[in-house]
C-alpha cells in the first residue's frame, strides 16, 4: 500500500499544537510516499531540503566544558550524554575518559592511558544506556570496556580481528544489553596488498556489521554494504577527498546504517532484521569539471608543507586524486547520521575536504564535513533542517538538546550542550 504524506503538516505540528494549519508554500515542496516491500516499510522522499522548517540552536549553552580550564581538554574524541544532564568526554590527546555532572563539575575519571583493565588508548565509540551503564570501544586495543554508573569496571570484551567476518577488523562497537554487542568493521580488499597502480585505481572496501554474543562469538551472519575507498597510484596509497563515509548509529531499540554513496538509510531492529528503508530522490550533486576545478586549487594549496620538501610527490598525489579514473561522477550523498532516544534520525550532508592533509588522515570525518544537517522522524519523514555555527561539529543528541564541539581562534576545543529551538520558517 502506498500513501502520499504531507510532510509539511507533520513538521508544523512541532510548532503549533492542534490541527494541521496551512503551511508556507515552500514547505509543500517536500513530499513523501510511504510503502511496503516484503514486509519492510519504505519511505521515498522528494523535494528540496532547504524548504524544510529551521531548527535553531541556542546561543547560550546549558552546559559548557571549556578546553582552557581544568581539567583541560587537549583534543576531544568521543562524547556521549550521561543521564539527562551529564556528559561523557573522551580526551583523545591525553587518553582520559571523564564523566561530568550537569553543572560542569567532574564526577569521576573513568579511565586513563594504558593497556591494563579499564585503561584506554584510542576510543572510537562511546555510549551509555538509559540506566547509565557505559560502553566504550578502544580501536587500538580491540576491546569493549563496560563501566557501571558509579565508574566501577564491570567487564572487558575482546573484539578480535575477523569478529565481523573473515578478513575484517573492528572500527567501532556498541553494547546492546548484557550479553550482545554490535561491531562495525572494515573488510580488507584483495587489492590492498597488490602493486601500486599507474594509472591510479580505486580500492573499495566493504563495510561490515556483525552481532556478537557474551564471549565475543558470532550470533548473526555479518552484513556487508559499500564502504569507503582509497586511491592506489604510482607513489603509494592515499585517501580520497571524494570518498563516501559509511556510518552506523545505534539507540536502545534500533540500528541505522548507510554507505553515504546515495541517500539510502536502512533501519534494523536489534536482531539485525530490516524494518525501514528511507530514500531521497534527486539528492546527488554532480561532480562537474567546474566544481573539480574550484576544489583543486585550495586542495593543492593545503599541501604547501609537502610541496616545500618534495614537490614531485605533492604534484603526483594531486594528479592521482584528480585522475579521471578515480574521480566519481557525483559527490557522495551523506556524511554521517545519528539516532536519538526518540528514534529521530539526524543526517549530515557530505562535502569534500578542501584540505588534503585532513582528507589523507581521515580527520575530515570530524572537522571537514558539511555543517548542514536535517532531521527525520522515527518513521523517516523529514522534520527540519539545522545549520551549525562555524567551527562546530555535532557529536550527540538527546531529546531537545545536542552536544557539540567548537574550536576557537587559537584552536582550543570546547564541549557545549545546546538546546534545540523550533522555528517554523524555511531558509
- For 122-146, the pLDDT digits (tens) are 999 999 988 899 999 999 999 999 9
* 221-280 residue pLDDT tens: 889 999 998 899 988 888 888 999 899 999 999 999 999 999 999 999 999 999 999 999
The x, y and z cell numbers of residue 190, run together, are 584483495
Residue 100 pLDDT greater than 90, yes or no: yes
Domain at 58-426: CATH code: 2.120.10.30
**What string of DSSP letters covers 187-230?**
EPPGGGGS---SS-EEEEEEEEEEEE-TTS-EEEEEEEEEEEEE
Candidates 370, 390, 423; CA nearest to 55 is: 423
Phi, psi of 114 (to 5 degrees): 150, 175
Burial (CB < 10 A; 0-12, 13-18, 19+), residue 424, is middle
The x, y and z cell numbers of residue 393, run together, are 561539529
How far, in Å, CA of 378 to CA of 375, rounded?
Answer: 10
Domain edges within the chain: 58-426
Please state whether the predicted TM-score (pTM) of the whole model is above 0.85: yes
* 36-65 residue pLDDT tens: 999 999 999 999 999 999 999 999 999 999
Could you tell me where the beta strands, DSSP code E, fall in 254-320?
255-258, 264-268, 274-280
Amino acid at each position: 500500500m502506498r500513501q502520499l504524506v504531507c510532510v509539511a503538516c507533520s513538521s508544523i505540528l512541532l510548532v503549533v499544537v492542534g490541527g494541521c494549519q496551512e503551511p508556507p508554500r515552500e514547505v509543500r515542496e517536500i513530499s513523501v510516499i510511504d510503502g511496503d516491500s516484503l514486509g519492510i516499510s519504505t519511505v521515498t522522499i522528494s523535494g528540496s531540503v532547504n524548504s524544510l522548517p529551521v531548527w535553531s540552536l541556542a546561543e547560550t549553552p546549558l552546559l559548557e566544558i571549556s578546553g582552557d580550564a581544568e581539567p583541560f581538554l587537549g583534543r576531544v574524541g568521543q562524547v556521549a550524554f550521561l543521564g539527562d544532564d551529564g556528559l561523557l568526554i573522551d580526551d583523545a590527546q591525553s587518553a582520559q575518559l571523564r564523566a561530568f555532572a550537569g553543572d560542569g563539575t567532574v564526577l569521576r575519571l573513568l579511565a586513563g592511558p594504558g593497556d591494563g583493565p579499564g585503561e584506554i588508548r584510542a576510543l572510537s565509540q562511546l555510549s551509555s544506556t538509559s540506566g547509565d551503564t557505559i560502553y566504550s570501544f578502544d580501536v587500538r586495543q580491540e576491546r569493549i570496556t563496560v563501566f557501571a554508573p558509579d565508574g566501577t569496571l564491570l567487564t572487558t570484551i575482546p573484539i578480535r580481528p575477523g569478529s565481523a567476518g573473515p578478513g575484517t577488523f573492528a572500527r567501532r562497537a556498541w553494547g546492546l544489553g548484557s550479553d550482545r554487542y554490535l561491531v562495525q568493521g572494515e573488510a580488507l580488499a584483495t587489492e590492498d596488498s597488490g602493486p601500486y597502480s599507474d594509472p591510479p585505481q580505486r580500492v573499495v572496501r566493504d563495510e561490515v556489521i556483525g552481532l556478537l554474543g557474551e564471549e565475543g562469538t558470532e550470533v548473526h551472519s555479518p552484513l556487508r554494504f559499500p564502504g569507503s575507498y582509497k586511491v592506489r597510484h604510482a607513489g603509494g596509497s592515499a585517501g580520497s577527498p571524494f570518498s563516501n563515509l559509511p556510518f552506523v548509529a545505534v539507540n536502545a531499540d534500533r540500528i541505522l546504517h548507510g554507505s553515504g554513496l546515495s541517500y539510502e538509510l536502512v533501519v534494523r531492529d536489534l536482531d539485525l532484521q530490516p524494518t525501514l528503508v528511507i530514500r531521497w530522490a534527486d539528492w546527488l550533486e554532480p561532480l562537474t569539471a567546474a566544481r573539480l576545478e574550484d576544489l583543486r586549487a585550495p586542495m593543492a594549496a593545503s599541501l604547501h608543507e609537502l610541496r616545500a620538501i618534495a614537490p614531485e610527490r605533492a604534484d603526483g598525489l594531486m594528479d592521482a586524486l584528480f585522475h579521471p579514473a578515480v574521480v566519481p561522477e557525483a559527490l557522495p550523498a551523506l556524511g554521517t547520521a545519528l539516532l536519538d532516544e526518540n528514534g529521530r534520525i539526524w543526517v549530515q550532508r557530505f562535502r569534500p575536504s578542501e584540505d588534503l592533509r585532513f582528507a589523507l588522515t581521515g580527520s575530515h570525518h570530524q572537522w571537514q564535513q558539511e555543517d548542514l544537517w536535517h532531521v527525520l522522524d522515527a518513521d523517516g519523514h523529514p522534520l527540519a533542517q539545522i545549520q551549525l555555527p562555524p567551527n562546530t561539529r555535532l557529536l550527540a543528541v538527546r531529546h531537545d538538546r545536542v552536544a557539540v564541539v567548537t574550536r576557537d581562534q587559537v584552536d582550543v576545543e570546547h564541549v557545549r550542550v545546546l538546546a534545540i529551538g523550533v522555528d517554523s520558517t524555511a531558509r
